[in-house]
Amino acid sequence: NNDNCESCRGLGRFICCESCPKAFHFSCCQPPVDPENLPEEWHCTECSFKADPFKPSPPGLFQLLLDNINRSDPVVFELPHEIRSCFRG
């Protein structure tokens, strides 16, 4: 599995996905996982969605946005690479 948290890119203790190399801090998972009460098998949101796709959100203005949020792993906000690489440091 990965050496950094997939969500915040930090180091520390992780829970690892059983289906892919992703690893997350217990508090970075969606929903957060209690390290004292770990499941026997744990799969990240994306792998869980691939294994068992859920019904789409109710129709409405934000349906596509909500569907994308519910099927992807959480990630800390980061500026686009073009902006980050434009300035030194």
Would the pLDDT of 87 be above 80?
A: no
CA atoms within 13 A on the CB side of 21: 4
What does the block give as tokens for 86? Answer: 């434009």
Predicted local distance difference test score (pLDDT) of residue 22 = 93
Domains and CATH numbers, the chain: 14-86 (3.30.40)
Q: Is 15 helix (H, G, I), strand (E, B) or coil?
A: strand
Tens-digit pLDDT profile for residues 3-61: 999 999 899 999 999 999 999 999 998 889 999 998 899 999 889 888 877 767 778 88
pTM for the model stands at: 0.69
Predicted local distance difference test score (pLDDT) of residue 89 = 62
